[in-house]
């Protein structure tokens, strides 16, 4: 092709528009891949901000229906393709000296403009999350490189294949088709899923199917990690269920908060309908953990009474206080001693408490086996502070939680398996929140983990990186034990409310006693997580390390004159500098209150560095300031695996949603689904012959649940629950 043809005015504008269209589409495709990536999502997630913007402008049903991967792809790929078309047309219209811009310059320009646009848009995400602009811009640069290549290919190939008139037609048609397709995807999503046809009954009644159902809920079980583990020859129980059944992604509810999603699964209703909207509610100016009496919609265990099937629900989220059900209800607060109404029927409580005691002495109760620390686990744990110390405590707690679920389920099923059994396990969620970064660091050749989380020590990475994978292995073993409790032929459904992906920790722990110790002013208590010995210290922070950069230091018993000791500490801390010469403290002020003189210090939160110098000594930053938060966060896609007599074998289901769980379970049990449920029966799970023999039936509604109270019930367990929620980043 001649240079004259490349720059001919007759086809330069359509050609430039098409170059921009394909450049934008390529950039959008790369960004879609990044947005879906568990590792890079944190740098490419503008959809979360978009949905937060829309949340006050659209009703909840429309928002939930719009939140699909199809809409996301339309937004990223289609939006970029149309933007690229506009940019390309603008470049094609530029004719300095009456001549079109050289083709190569147009390609570079359209890719560069897309890079600038995406950097500005995604930069808001990076700024909000405190992410590295270098890493973010590098990833956007990859999308710009794809745009450059696509623009060049379009500019070189299309003119060879099409005459100018067809080229002009294609330049008009492609953006229009893309725009109308995107609009069609959005409109189809807003309409919601098609409800399968079925007869409506005058009142709820059951047509028995001779099937029993077991729901095994695993919070945070991620399909990507499951597939990786199975490829490595792990998770034999889950691998067998997947091979013999149907699996697929289970779309969650944004934001994917566990009490909201598990309640939606159990009711088939939107959060605004069932009334559970978060982890805590406000009562009298205090945050009270959400309690089951706030639920307005009947759940599966309530529908059981109306239709006539029996249940055993064990540790299901938001089930305290335990309700009167046709069967057994072991609430999600069963492991809190002294709390009333933990179990229904109440006379089962002693047996359940015996099961709790058995959980504590199981050989797999040991937290050390999830790490590489070995026999020195307790000593190593005792000498850590901040996030690592807290994470190890959470690990210990969730191991017990899940073993209590297993052992109390064993007790609940001792007298026979009911029609519907449901167990809830929490450990995968908690361990991924807190140990994700160590797994990422061990598997990340590009060193992304250190860019996201500051420096991760080699020791921490080596010792703690196995926790996530080993918990997956442990969960599979627990699933195997749970399956062994069930009768042959049980229809088993594995559920997770969301998956997991990389998140950056945005806060920090501060440990002023460590700096004071380096200056010879403070003596740390061994094994106490950063607390100082008041009797042996001249100046100390009486509190344990925390995420508050504002601390109030006091004089210890070793200080001859408290005011002089505090003034000496002020001078020493004022001279503390990072390796770049920046002060470590924003302010240092002495004062006095009812408890005596103090030194109020405020850490400079934006100071960066690897080491600091204080009193002539070098101290690693990691000794007195470390990241805080949850390095793993919720991915919108959970997992569903359905295995057993009514379900297809070796198949995959598409577009399943958490809201579809309740109507699907009802159908397996021969009970009608409610037409007022937002969820629908997942017909794609079932063998066609079984579905034909058991047609779907409906009832207009199961009505509203009679609530004993419309306010959350405060208990003595609330502070422990709030502390767990803070540790996982759910509340502040």
Domain 210-244+271-506+631-645+702-727 falls in which CATH fold? Alkaline Phosphatase, subunit A (3.40.720)
Per residue in 97-133, pLDDT (tens digit) is 878 899 999 999 999 999 999 999 999 888 877 787 8
3-state SS of the chain: helix, strand, coil percent to 5? 50, 15, 35
Asked if the model's pLDDT at residue 401 lies above 70, the reply is: yes
CATH code 3.40.720 region(s) in the chain: 210-244+271-506+631-645+702-727
User: Among 229-238, 366-375, 441-450, which is the least confidently predicted range?
Assistant: 441-450
Closest residue by Cα to residue 335 from 394, 400, 258: 400
φ, ψ of residue 454 in degrees (nearest 5): 60, -155
Q: Within 10 Å of residue 442's Cβ, how many Cβ atoms?
A: 16
Sign of CA dihedral 414, 419, 425, 428: positive
d(CA 712, CA 549): 33
Cα separation, 247 vs 182, whole angstroms: 28
Please name the helix (run of DSSP H) or strand (run of DSSP E) that holds residue 391, with its range, or none. helix 386-412
Burial class (CB in 10 A: 0-12, 13-18, 19+), 535: exposed
3-state class of 727 per DSSP? helix
Tokens describing residue 634: 């919720």
| Alpha carbon distances (Å) from 472 to 224, 428, 578, 725 | 12, 7, 40, 22
Least confident of 7-16, 283-292, 396-405, 572-581: 7-16
Q: Give the residue-averaged pLDDT of 631-648.
A: 95
How sure is the predictor about 449, in pLDDT bands with cuts at 50, 70 and 90? confident
Q: For 363-386, what is the mean pLDDT?
A: 94
Is residue 730's pLDDT more than 90? Answer: no
**Cα dihedral 280, 283, 284, 285 sign:** positive
Give the CA angle between residues 597, 602, 607 to the nearest 5°. Answer: 150
Average pLDDT over residues 491-509: 91
Give long-range contacts, CB 8 A cutoff, 24+ apart: 368-374: 369/470, 370/395, 370/399, 370/431, 370/466, 370/467, 370/470, 370/471, 370/474, 371/463, 371/464, 371/466, 371/467, 372/462, 372/463, 372/464, 372/465, 372/466, 373/463
What strands, in cross-sheet order, belong to the sheet with 550-555? Answer: 539-541, 550-555, 596-603, 585-593
The residue-averaged pLDDT of 454-479 equals 93
Q: 447 vs 727, which has greater pLDDT?
A: 727
Closest CA to 687 of 641, 640, 644: 644
Mean pLDDT of all residues belonging to the chain? 92
pLDDT at res. 668: 98
pLDDT at res. 452: 76
Q: Tell me the three state secondary structure of residue 9.
A: helix
Q: Is the peptide bond before 464 cis (omega within 30 degrees of 0)?
A: no
Could you read off the pLDDT of 245-291 as tens digits, one per residue? 999 999 999 889 999 999 999 999 999 999 999 999 988 888 999 99
**Secondary structure in 3-state letters for 560-575:** CCHHHHHHHHHHHHHC
Is the pLDDT assigned to residue 2 strictly greater than 60? no
Q: According to the model, what pLDDT value does residue 54 have?
A: 82
Range of lowest pLDDT (127-131, 175-179, 543-547, 711-715): 127-131
Supply the pLDDT for residue 154.
Answer: 93
Handedness of CA 33, 35, 40, 43 (dihedral sign): positive
pLDDT above 70 (res 10): no
Q: Which strand (E) or helix (H) includes residue 246?
A: strand 246-251
pLDDT greater than 70 at residue 503:
yes
Q: Which residue has the tokens 């559920």?
A: 495
φ and ψ at residue 483, rounded to 5 degrees: -65, -35
Q: Report the distance separating Cα 550 and Cα 362, nearest Å.
A: 43
* 350, two tokens: 């002693």
CB atoms within 10 A of CB 255: 15
Least Cα distance to 640 among 498, 475, 504, 442 occurs for 498
Tokens found for residue 557: 């018993």
DSSP 205-235: -----S--EEEEEETT--HHHHHHHHHTT--
The residue whose two tokens read 């926790």 is 467
In whole angstroms, what is the distance from residue 226 CA to residue 602 CA? 44
460 or 506: whose pLDDT is higher? 460
**Cα distance between residue 245 and residue 483, in whole Å:** 15
Rg (CA), the chain: 30
Q: Are 323 and 302 in contact (CB under 8 A)?
A: yes
Classify the phi-psi angles of 396: left when phi > 0, otherwise alpha if psi is within -120 to 50, otherwise beta: alpha
Give the pLDDT score at 455: 67
The set of residues, in sequence order, having a beta carbon less than 8 Å from that of 558 and lying 6+ positions away, is: 523, 535, 536, 537, 538
pLDDT at 635 exceeding the cut of 60: yes
Q: Give me the pLDDT at residue 3, please.
A: 41
Using the predicted structure, report yes or no on whether residue 8 has a pLDDT greater than 70: no
C-alpha span between 351 and 353 (Å, rounded): 5
- pLDDT > 70 in the chain, percent: 98
Q: Give the torsion through C-alpha atoms of 122, 126, 131, 134, to 10 deg.
A: 50
Closest CA to 258 of 240, 235, 278: 278
Tokens of 238: 């889950």
Strand-pair category, 539-541 with 632-635: unpaired
Q: Tokens 């088709």, residue?
A: 177
* Mean pLDDT value across residues 485-500: 97
pLDDT of residue 7: 43
Q: Is the pLDDT at 1 greater than 80, yes or no?
A: no
Q: Over 90: is that where the pLDDT of 409 sits?
A: yes
What's the count of helices (H) and strands (E) in the chain, helices before strands?
28, 26
Mean pLDDT of 346-370: 96
Judged by phi (left if over 0) then psi (alpha if -120 to 50, else beta), residue 520 lies in left
pLDDT of 533 above 70 = yes
pLDDT of residue 4: 46
Q: Which residue has the tokens 């109030």?
A: 552
Q: How far apart are CA 16 and CA 8, in angstroms?
A: 11
pTM: 0.92
């Amino acid at each position: 092709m001649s240079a004259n043809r490349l720059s001919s005015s007759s086809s330069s504008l359509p050609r430039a528009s098409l170059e921009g269209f394909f450049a934008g589409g390529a950039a959008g495709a790369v960004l879609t891949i990044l947005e879906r990536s568990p590792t890079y999502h944190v740098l490419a997630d503008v959809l979360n901000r978009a949905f937060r913007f829309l949340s006050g402008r659209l009703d909840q049903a429309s928002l939930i229906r719009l939140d699909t991967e199809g809409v996301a792809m339309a937004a990223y790929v289609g939006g970029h393709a149309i933007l690229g078309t506009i940019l390309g047309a603008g470049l094609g219209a530029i004719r300095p000296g009456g001549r079109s811009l050289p083709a190569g310059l147009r390609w570079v320009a359209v890719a560069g403009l897309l890079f600038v646009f995406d950097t500005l848009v995604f930069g808001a995400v990076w700024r909000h999350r405190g992410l590295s602009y270098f890493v973010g811009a590098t990833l956007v640069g990859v999308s710009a490189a794809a745009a450059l290549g696509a623009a060049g290919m379009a500019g070189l190939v299309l003119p060879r294949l099409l005459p100018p008139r067809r080229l002009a037609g294609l330049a008009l048609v492609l953006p229009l088709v893309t725009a109308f397709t995107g609009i069609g995807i959005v409109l189809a999503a807003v309409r919601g899923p098609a409800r399968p046809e079925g007869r409506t009954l005058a009142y709820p009644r059951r047509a028995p199917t001779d099937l029993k159902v077991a729901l095994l809920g695993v919070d945070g079980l991620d399909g990507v990690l499951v597939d990786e583990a199975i490829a490595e020859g792990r998770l034999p129980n889950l691998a067998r269920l997947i091979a013999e059944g149907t699996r697929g992604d289970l779309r969650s509810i944004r934001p994917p908060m566990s009490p909201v999603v598990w309640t939606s699964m159990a009711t088939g209703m939107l959060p605004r309908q069932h009334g559970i909207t978060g982890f805590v509610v406000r009562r009298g100016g205090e945050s009270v953990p959400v309690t089951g009496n706030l639920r307005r919609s009947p759940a599966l265990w309530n529908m059981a009474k109306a239709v006539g099937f029996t249940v055993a629900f064990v540790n299901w989220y938001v089930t305290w206080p335990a309700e009167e059900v046709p069967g057994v209800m072991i609430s999600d607060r069963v492991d809190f001693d002294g709390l009333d109404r933990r179990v229904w029927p109440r006379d089962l409580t002693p047996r359940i408490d015996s099961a709790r005691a058995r959980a504590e002495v199981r050989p797999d109760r040991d937290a050390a086996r999830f790490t590489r620390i070995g026999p020195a686990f307790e000593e190593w744990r005792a000498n850590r502070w901040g996030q690592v110390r807290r994470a190890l405590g959470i690990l210990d707690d969730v191991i017990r939680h899940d073993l209590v679920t297993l052992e109390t389920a064993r007790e609940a099923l001792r007298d026979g398996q009911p029609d519907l059994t449901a167990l809830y396990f929490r450990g995968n969620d908690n361990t991924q929140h807190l140990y994700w970064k160590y797994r990422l660091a061990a598997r990340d050749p590009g060193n992304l983990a250190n860019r996201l989380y500051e420096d991760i020590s080699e020791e921490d990475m080596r010792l703690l990186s196995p926790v996530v994978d080993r918990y997956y292995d442990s969960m599979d073993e627990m699933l195997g034990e749970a399956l062994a409790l069930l009768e042959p032929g049980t229809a088993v459904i594995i559920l997770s409310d969301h998956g997991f992906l990389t998140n950056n920790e945005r806060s920090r722990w501060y440990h002023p006693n460590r700096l004071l110790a380096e200056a010879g002013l403070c003596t740390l208590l061994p094994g106490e997580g950063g607390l100082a010995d008041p009797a042996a210290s001249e100046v100390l922070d009486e509190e344990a390390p925390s995420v508050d950069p504002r601390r109030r230091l006091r004089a210890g018993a070793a200080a001859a004159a408290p005011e002089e000791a505090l003034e000496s500490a002020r001078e020493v801390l004022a001279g503390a500098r990072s390796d770049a010469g920046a002060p470590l403290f924003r302010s240092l002020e002495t004062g006095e209150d009812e408890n005596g003189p103090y030194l109020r210090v405020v850490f400079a939160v934006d100071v960066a560095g690897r080491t600091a110098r204080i009193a002539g000594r070098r101290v690693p930053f990691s000794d007195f300031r470390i990241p805080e938060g949850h390095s793993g966060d919720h991915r919108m896609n959970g997992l569903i695996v359905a295995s057993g007599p009514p379900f297809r074998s070796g198949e995959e289901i598409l577009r399943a949603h958490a809201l579809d769980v309740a109507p699907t379970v009802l159908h397996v049990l021969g009970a009608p689904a409610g037409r007022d449920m937002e969820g629908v029966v997942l017909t794609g799970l079932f063998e066609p012959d079984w579905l034909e023999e058991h047609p779907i039936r409906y009832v207009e509604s199961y009505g509203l649940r009679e609530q004993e109270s419309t306010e959350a019930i405060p208990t003595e367990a609330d502070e422990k629950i709030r502390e767990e929620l803070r540790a996982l980043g759910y509340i502040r």
